Amino acid sequence: MPKPAQQPTPHLLILCTCPDQATAQNIADQLIDRALAACVNILPGLTSVYQWQGKRETAQEHLLLIKATDTTYPALEQVITELHPYELPEVIAVPIVQGLNGYLQWIEQQTATKIN
């Protein structure tokens, strides 16, 4: 008998690439300080290969793994686009379908109160 489909939680994993450590740290700090994300991992040493304005590009970047909720996403996206130096920053939200219940609750607790 097939398992019933899991309903997605309101939790998101947001991916964002940054050109350097300073940009990545600034965005991470702002998202945490404003309670828009519960946790931001900064992964250095990423090589991105992509098409931009008709040309293949290769760049060394830092990847942000941002844990947040769908409630905070609109403001989170706005902060990233305001602080990010790229004309078109990568901001991709992936729904978290399952996770450790305590951790998912912690994400909600950390993003429940906005700090200015």
| pTM of the shown model | 0.90
CATH of 14-110 given 3.20.20.70, 3.40.50.150, 3.30.70.120, 3.40.50.2020 = 3.30.70.120
- Minimal CA–CA distance to 49: which of 59, 35, 62? 59
Main-chain phi, psi angles of 33, to 5 degrees: -60, -30
CB atoms inside a 10 Å sphere around CB 35: 18
Please answer whether residues 26 and 40 qualify as being in contact, where contact means their C-beta atoms are separated by less than 8 angstroms. no
Spell out the per-residue pLDDT of the chain, length 116, in tens: 565 555 667 999 999 999 999 999 999 999 999 999 999 999 999 999 999 999 999 999 999 999 999 999 999 999 999 999 999 999 999 999 999 999 999 999 999 875 44
Predicted local confidence at residue 114, as pLDDT: 59
For residue 11, the SS3 value is strand
